[in-house]
Structures are given as structure tokens and as C-alpha cells.
Structure 1
């Protein structure tokens, strides 16, 4: 990986991996083992390769689909299963499963056979989806969402690895761009497909069952057309297994899970000063400290094999990129869930119509991301892209928060979505390109995994906080109106479940209007998170180096 003399940030700490070490991330482009085979002739005939590409890109499409598909089925789902207090888990469960395992899969793909690990991940994703579709209650649905997120993370990283080991350096950017389009298309169609099923006789359950259809269609291609490939073919299986940092894997998953549980349950099912809330927060802090200690001291593992590349935290520019990527991810995902919810409450729209309202925002975000990717080799500067993205995020979210109300025309939402979508899209890919130039070639895969954690982890944290705000503040505003009318707490929670709520439908127009106004205000307050993220991203981008990057072919190929 060449480094431009004009851009010479501080190098990562001394704990670099030797050229014989294991690749560590979702994108193993620059890992030594992959670099040895990156330009070998592809061992596929044309037709067979086309079949393989269609099959693996379908899984990226499904991963994008499931990131957004529950955005528009919340009302019908709560109608069937109840337990509106657990509504936030619908959005949080899937990325939680992903972030809890993404570093693990990044390590595993450098050790185990890529084909079979990818196929097993697809099976896990499909099994989780089947549980979601058949869920008899909310708890089963939550387990299914987390399970599907676990499989989805391995599935998506598997595509990146399969593309990397089966393409030359010259053609790799094209194949990886196609993968990005597949994922983005899934994100765009997720709310529409989910809303369509929810409003049809098929019901919301087919929003999850559809994944089984895709798996059934493409499983034969994965089993018979996709060829096995291992980056460490001569290492015995048990020796590979022992390379995994099981202490770090367990503590990392527990840390994120406890965070989500604490901030989802507190204030809704448990009051904040409840002993159970306090206990869970204390345990979360202890687990987080234990994870940090296990990584710092490489407990029962080695610095090369530990889960988290902690030496990156000594590099100022990598930390700034981590912050900027987290802010960009927050900007992207919060509106995906709360724009449709606004239309369902304020305008009483059904699932399909509310999902259609989201399309301008998602398309603008995708277009901005594609524009940034196309222009980055011509304008290879890190700081300006993040600065513009962050300023647009603050502008767009400020308009949503400060101006939008129940009397606003629909055109306001579309107009405000323009700067917000630009801010979300421009910042999504920059960190991946830049991080690869900040480390030695044999650490590129670690750098990509580091940014991956920022992207997915921040979406989990942002959606958890947003859910806590909606449940706590929304319930308080609903209780201010319904409490005087003798409604129970369960009735008040039912009013938060959406436009189909039985309680909302039986209220007088004046009371109904007061409830909707309070809930709409609570929805708009979610954009405070994006305002804060945009402000933080603006500050972080200013401190990034304002110098031209030398984007070598290897760096471009890594994306």
C-alpha cells in the first residue's frame, strides 16, 4: 500500500501482523494470503460465474432488505402480537445480531473455508427469518431478528471475501460496487415490500418468509456451483479453531446485548431507579471493562488473534475516521424508521403509502453515496467529504426537528429529505477508503473491520437511544392526555403502537388530535440525535488531515 508523502499520518502501533498471519476482516483484499492469489485466473466458466454472482449478490440484497423491512410493519405486527413496550426491538434486534458478531466473522473468514462459512451464515440468516415469520409472540420475534442479524453479518462479509478471492485487482472495484448496489436496493425496497405484505392478505409474516424463498432458489448454486476456498488450507481444523479469541467474542456480544436490554427496558417495563435497571447497567459496565482488559492483555489469545485491533486507538486519524463513520451511520438509519412512522401517525397512512414516502430520502442517500464513490479517486481528500456530509446532516435534521409538525404539508418532508439524504450518503464509504491508507498492507483487513464496527455499532446505539426516547417521552405525553380520562398504562402503550391502535380509533377528534400532536413531536425529537451526530462529525472532520491521498490500485481495489 503506497503512502503519499503529503499525507503521512502517524502509523499504527507496533503490533502489526506478520506476513504469515491471519487476515482479520470483512474485506481481506490486502491480506498476504489473498494478495498471493488476487490475480490468478478465475476458476469458473462464464456461465458458472454469472450464476455464482447472482446467488451471492442476492444475499447482499436480502441483508439490505432486512435492515429496513420492519420500518413499515410495526403497526400490524403489534396488532397481532401486542407488547408495544418491546417495539424498539424490531429495529434494534437485527443490527444487534450483526454488531455482536461482525468482528468474529471478520476473523473467521481468514481462517476457515470461505464457501462453507458463507453458506452456513446464509442458513443461519434464513433460519432466523423463519422464526420471525412463525413467531407466536414478541419474544420469539426478537430472538429471530437477532438470530437473522447474526447470520446476516456473516453472509454479507462472506460476499466481500468471495468477491475478493475470485477477482483480479483491476476488476474488483466493479464487483464490489455491484455488491453495494445490491445492498442499497434492498434498503430502498425494504419498507415498500414490508408494507405491501403487511397491508395484504399475506400479512407481515411474509416480510420474513420471503427470505426462505430466496434461499431455496439460490441454495443449489451455493452448494454445487460455488467452489471451496481456504486461505489456510494446510492448517488443521482444531488449530484454526484455537486461533479464535473466544473470551473477546463472548464479552463483545454480551456488552452490546446488555446495552440494548438496559436502555430498551428502562423507563418502559422497569423504572429508571428500579434495582433491575441499576443491576443491568452495573453488569454492562463490568463486562465492558472486562472486554477492554481482555483485548489489552490479549487474555488467552495473542495480539495478532485478538478480536479488536486495540492498537488502532493510538492512531488519531483512525479514531477520527471511526467517529465520522459512526455519525454518518446514525444519520442514515434513524430516518429510515421514523419517517414512515410520522406518516402513519400524522396522516393515518397505511404501510405501502408510508413506505413510498421514504423513497426520496433513501434514493438521495444512495445517489450521494454513489457520487462520492465515483468522485473519490478524482478528489481523494478525507476531511472535505465528511465536513460537507456532516453540515448537510445538521441542516436536514434541524429542519425536521424545528419546522415539521402535524400541519406541515408532505412537500416539507420531501424537501427536508434532500440535505438529510445527501449528508447520509456522502459519508458512508469515505472511511473505508481512507482507513486502508493509514496502516501497513498486512493490516488493511483489520482497518476495514474497525470501520465496519463503527458503522454497524453506531446504528445499534442510535436506534436503541431513539427507541428509548420514543417509548419514554411518547408514553409521558400520551399519559398527560389519557391519564385524566381513566385509561390504563397498557392502553397508553397501545396508543403508541400506530395508526391502527384500538385506543386511538375510539377517541374523540379533539383528544385524538392531541395524542397525535404529542407523538409527532416525539418522533421529530429523534432528529436531535442526528443534529448531535452531525455536529460531532463536523468537529471530527476538521481535525482530519486536509491533504491529498495517494489512492494506489490496491487501495481502490479494497473498496
Structure 2
């Protein structure tokens, strides 16, 4: 590993040699330049022995203080909450949406569309946050998210709803990246892990309330449409804070607008967008609407391969761009730790969202619970994940060594996934499911946000935006891949299992696919008791197979943790105020 270690040291060499005499004094009325903030006395900034004469005191650095800072944090965390909420809010509204629009073959897009939009836009938006005024780019992303939510709420067709979900994902990832960049710009290095850790409970709370809110609205006279209109209400409550309290952050204040636009790697962004879309479309429709060997599926997979190769070559050789302007931070791949953090973050996201979507489905099918009660059964999983993520973020700077956190996280993911895969059936007690869920919550939550604090510490501080973007892409990609693959497994294996279980009834394929959209489908509610019991067993077996993805992810996470450095990373003690 000598070559990767030396490469990693070169990534942070500029950071450690920053001008120790440079001072940063910013009044509440000035624009923040992240370049100015990033080259201050790096060793003193990270040292736990910094004295009272440190010129980088919170009063000198912090441009928002007191109650204004409290309101700013609340508003920023609410945007993270909304982003997480929309990731999971469709978990319990699929059946009423299918009842309204039909087209059950497209129901998977309700969950997949949102992270797909995020993945397609993540890299380009990350670069834009490193170039343009952060506050207004963040607010523009929120407006885009809210407009997409309005489209979803008022969608006249399934296609319009799917478009709205993808569009909302694009705006949502902009909100998320904006929050991370603004928090990083507004806080000292010493306190940054604490405030970044604060995104974990906001994220977790949104994940848990997504199915709850979705189920509640779906079961009420308000209908599932208010699952999306809710975003407009919450945005209205925070708008004054976003507009009048957040301070502008200008990463490159002296660069002309036209030069900034020219510097964006639009080619890399377009290839990234195309590669994600060309992968997700055939996998989502495969076996449900198209056969895997159909001409359409083959053509899309070939085009995906071509786009992926083109993206690798374009980024690797800086075609139509420069090494500094590439949309993907290729130089981070020289760092062993950055690669391992990327993979581990994706694995953690896979565990989190597999649990969020498929634990409620178990209770919906086996216990015939409604949307609200199915979501309530998710509480042990998410509550543990939230708690562990928050306290893990607080303990990380004190412990210094991040490798044990990732080793424990991967181990719990693997143990929980193995229990789900081997133990669940129609007779499994709720208590056992809660226990398995809590174990997975530990694994999914412990390192869910950790890399957002670690990764920026390994690069020059003016590259912190690239590091945050890198990890955000890992998290969003983990969500997208887990939902895409698990949905394909559930739809294909579930369809085959149901066909075998209901053999002799001569049911149309469309009815069998519709049964997989919810326990209250017309097919499942009208089946004779003996056949219904066989159908539920078939569906639970398909749900169980989906946890194989988490088994693989947990195993990979353990390997990544064992390859991480054992040394101590020095953080200053986290402080709040």
C-alpha cells in the first residue's frame, strides 16, 4: 500500500503547509470566501492544544451567532429532513397510486426516481457549489425541489408523477449538498464534526417519518397527494430564515461569471447523467415490462457500457475539460482511505434503505397492517440508527481512530442481514423482527454521516467541497443501487414465486405484479384463504432474498474497514455555540 499512502499524503500536503500567519476576520455583513477560510493556520486549527490566543476564535470566524445561528441550524437541518423524507415517503403509498393510475410496471420508479435524480445531478451540483454563491444556489435547489413536489402532488398521470420524483431528487440533492457546504463554511474545523453529525438525526427522522406520513395520508381523506404537498408547508415555515438570516458564501469571489460557467465540466456531467439513467431503466423494467433478453434491454445495457467507458476516458484524460475542472474528483482515487470511505458509505446507505423499504413491507403482507402501522413497526430500526449516528458523530473526534467505527458498522450490517435472510418467515414474531431491525440500525447508523467529517480532513481545505461531493455521491449511489437492485429482485423473484404458488388459477401477469405493490391489492384480498396463505409465503420469501444485497454490502464494509489506517486522526474537541 506504499504507493496509495504516498499519494494520500500528497493530497493533504498543501493543507498541512498552509500559511500559518494568514488571519481570517469576517464581519457578519461580509461575504465568506472559502478560500480565505481554508488556508488559515491548519496545524493550529486541528490541534487540540490550541490556546486562547488563537486568532481563529468562534467570534472571529462565525458570521452567524446566538439565536440567529440556532435558527439557521434548524432551517438547514429541516432541508436535510425534507430530503430524507422524500427518499422514503413513497414506501407506503404505492398501492393507492397504482389504484389511481394503474401502470403497476412503473411503480418501482416512485422509490427509484428520487435517488436517480440525485445521482445524475450530484457531481455537477457539487462543482457548482465550489464556484457559485452557495446561499442562493442552495435556495434555488429548494425552489426546484418544491416545484417538483407540487408536480408530484398534482400529477394527472403516472408518467407525470415519475418525472416529478426524478426532478425532486435533483433539487433535493442540491439542498443536501448546500446544507453540508454551508455548515462547513459557517463553522470552525473543531466544531464541524458536531454540526455535521447534527444532520444524522435530521436525516434519520426524515427517513422514519417518510413512511409514517405517506401511510397516514394514503389512509386518510387527504389522500397520498398530501405526502408531497407537505413539503410546501415546511418550506414556507423556514423561508424567512433562509432568505434573511443565512449569510452569502462566495467560494471564488473574484472570478467572472462567464469564466465560472466555462470552467464547469458540462461534458462529464452529461455523461454521468446518461450513465445512471441507462443503467437504472433496463434494470427497473427488466422482468416486469421487458424480458431481460429483449432487444430494448440489450440496447440500453450496451449504451450504458458505452457511456460508462466514455465517462471514464473523458475524466481520466480530461477531454474537453482540465484536471482541475473535472466533474469527478479523480485525484481522490489516489487515496486508499477516500476509496474505502466511498465504498463503506455506499454499503451503509444500502443497509439503511433496504431496511426502510422492506421492513414495513413484511408487516404489511404478513400482518395486513395499514400504512401507519406498517411504518410504526419501523421505529426500532430508525430510532436506533438515529441515536447511534448522532452519538457516533460526537464520539468520532474524541476517539480519533475511525477504523473501529467502520469495522463495528460492517459487522452489525452483516449479522443483521444474515438473520433477516435466514430467520424471517410468516411465523416470525414481531419481537424478533424488532431485534434484527435494531442490529441493522446500529450497522446502518454508526457511520452514516462519519465520512462527511473524515473525507474533507484528508485533502487541502480548498478541496473540502470536492470531498463532500465525493461522499455525497457515494451515499446517493448506495441508495439508488440498493433500491434498484432490491426492487428488481423483489419484482422478479416475487412474480415467479407467486406464479408457482397460484398455479392453476390462470391469473393475468398484470394482477400478479399488482399484488406485489401492496397487501391490500384486489388479488390478495379476494383469494381463497388457502391460496392467500401460499401467496404471502411466496412474497415473504422474495422479501427475504432482498437482504442478500445487505449481506454482500456488510461483507464488503468489513473488508474495507480492515484495510483502513489504524492511526489516529487529530480533531480539536468539538464545541457548540
TM-score between both structures, scaled by the size of structure 2: 0.88
Question: Post-superposition shift, 1:545?
Answer: 2.0
Look up the match of 2:52: none
Task: Point out the more displaced range, 414-423 or 542-551.
Answer: 542-551
Cα pair 1:17 1:304 within 8 Å, conserved: no
Q: Residues 165 and 536 (structure 1 numbering): CA distance in 2 closer, same or farther, change over 3 Å? A: closer
Look up the match of 1:472: 492
Cα pair 2:193 2:394 within 8 Å, conserved: no
CA deviations on 1:161-187 (whole Å, 9 max, x unpaired) are 222333344544443333333222212
Q: Does 1:197 align with 2:200?
A: no
Unpaired runs of at least 5, structure 2: 19-31, 41-55
Q: Does 1:139 align with 2:159?
A: yes
Q: Does 1:354 align with 2:374?
A: yes
Q: 1:32 aligns with which of 31, 35, 44?
A: 35
Look up the match of 1:11: 7
Whole-Å separation in 2 of the counterparts to 1:289 and 1:479: 39
Look up the match of 2:271: 251
Cα pair 2:413 2:551 within 8 Å, conserved: yes
SS at match of 2:542: helix
Cα pair 2:198 2:390 within 8 Å, conserved: no
Q: Does 1:187 align with 2:183?
A: no
Cα pair 2:208 2:375 within 8 Å, conserved: no
Cα pair 1:16 1:442 within 8 Å, conserved: no
Look up the match of 1:56: 76
Q: Does 1:430 align with 2:450?
A: yes
Question: Post-superposition shift, 1:17?
Answer: 11
Look up the match of 2:509: 489
Q: Does 1:268 align with 2:282?
A: no
Question: Post-superposition shift, 1:525?
Answer: 1.0
Whole-Å separation in 1 of the counterparts to 2:525 and 2:141: 43
Whole-Å separation in 1 of the counterparts to 2:571 and 2:195: 18
Q: 1:277 aligns with which of 288, 297, 317?
A: 297
Task: Point out the more displaced range, 287-296 or 419-428.
Answer: 419-428
Q: Residues 36 and 390 (structure 1 numbering): CA distance in 2 closer, same or farther, change over 3 Å? A: closer
Q: Residues 62 and 535 (structure 1 numbering): CA distance in 2 closer, same or farther, change over 3 Å? A: same
Whole-Å separation in 2 of the counterparts to 1:170 and 1:312: 23
Q: 2:539 aligns with which of 515, 519, 538?
A: 519
SS at match of 2:198: helix
Question: Post-superposition shift, 1:551?
Answer: 3.0
Considering only aligned residues, what root-mean-square deviation do their CA atoms show, in Å?
2.5
Q: Residues 16 and 422 (structure 1 numbering): CA distance in 2 closer, same or farther, change over 3 Å? A: closer
Whole-Å separation in 1 of the counterparts to 2:530 and 2:349: 39
Look up the match of 1:87: 107
Q: Residues 54 and 425 (structure 1 numbering): CA distance in 2 closer, same or farther, change over 3 Å? A: closer
Whole-Å separation in 2 of the counterparts to 1:53 and 1:376: 21
Q: Residues 52 and 372 (structure 1 numbering): CA distance in 2 closer, same or farther, change over 3 Å? A: closer
Q: Residues 361 and 427 (structure 1 numbering): CA distance in 2 closer, same or farther, change over 3 Å? A: same
Divergent runs of 4+, >6 A:
13-20
CA deviations on 1:124-178 (whole Å, 9 max, x unpaired) are 0001111111112221111111111100111111122222333344544443333
Look up the match of 1:453: 473
Q: Residues 44 and 543 (structure 1 numbering): CA distance in 2 closer, same or farther, change over 3 Å? A: closer
Whole-Å separation in 1 of the counterparts to 2:235 and 2:324: 35
CA deviations on 1:74-114 (whole Å, 9 max, x unpaired) are 22222222222222212111111111111212111121111
Q: 1:286 aligns with which of 298, 303, 306?
A: 306
Q: Residues 532 and 147 (structure 1 numbering): CA distance in 2 closer, same or farther, change over 3 Å? A: same
Look up the match of 1:395: 415
Look up the match of 2:178: 158
Look up the match of 2:51: none
Equivalence map 1:302-341=2 (5 Å): 302-341=322-361
Whole-Å separation in 2 of the counterparts to 1:17 and 1:235: 25
Q: Residues 169 and 141 (structure 1 numbering): CA distance in 2 closer, same or farther, change over 3 Å? A: same
Look up the match of 1:369: 389
Task: Point out the more displaced range, 215-224 or 317-326.
Answer: 215-224
Task: Point out the more displaced range, 320-329 or 543-552.
Answer: 543-552
Look up the match of 2:139: 119
Whole-Å separation in 1 of the counterparts to 2:209 and 2:419: 26
Look up the match of 1:345: 365
Whole-Å separation in 1 of the counterparts to 2:195 and 2:557: 30
Look up the match of 1:301: 321
Q: Residues 533 and 229 (structure 1 numbering): CA distance in 2 closer, same or farther, change over 3 Å? A: closer
Q: Residues 219 and 195 (structure 1 numbering): CA distance in 2 closer, same or farther, change over 3 Å? A: same
Look up the match of 1:417: 437
CA deviations on 1:236-278 (whole Å, 9 max, x unpaired) are 2111111110001101111111111010011111101100000
Cα pair 1:16 1:443 within 8 Å, conserved: no
Unpaired runs of at least 5, structure 1: 1-7, 21-28
Whole-Å separation in 2 of the counterparts to 1:426 and 1:30: 33
CA deviations on 1:18-61 (whole Å, 9 max, x unpaired) are 899xxxxxxxx995344369864545574544444433332122
- Asked which structure has the greater RCO (Cα within 8 Å, sep 6+), the reply is 1
Whole-Å separation in 1 of the counterparts to 2:135 and 2:34: 18
Whole-Å separation in 2 of the counterparts to 1:220 and 1:314: 43
Equivalence map 1:529-548=2 (5 Å): 529-548=549-568
Matched positions, count: 540
CA deviations on 1:357-393 (whole Å, 9 max, x unpaired) are 0011011111121232222223222322222111111
CA deviations on 1:280-332 (whole Å, 9 max, x unpaired) are 00000000011111101111211111111112223323222222222111111
Q: Residues 516 and 455 (structure 1 numbering): CA distance in 2 closer, same or farther, change over 3 Å? A: same
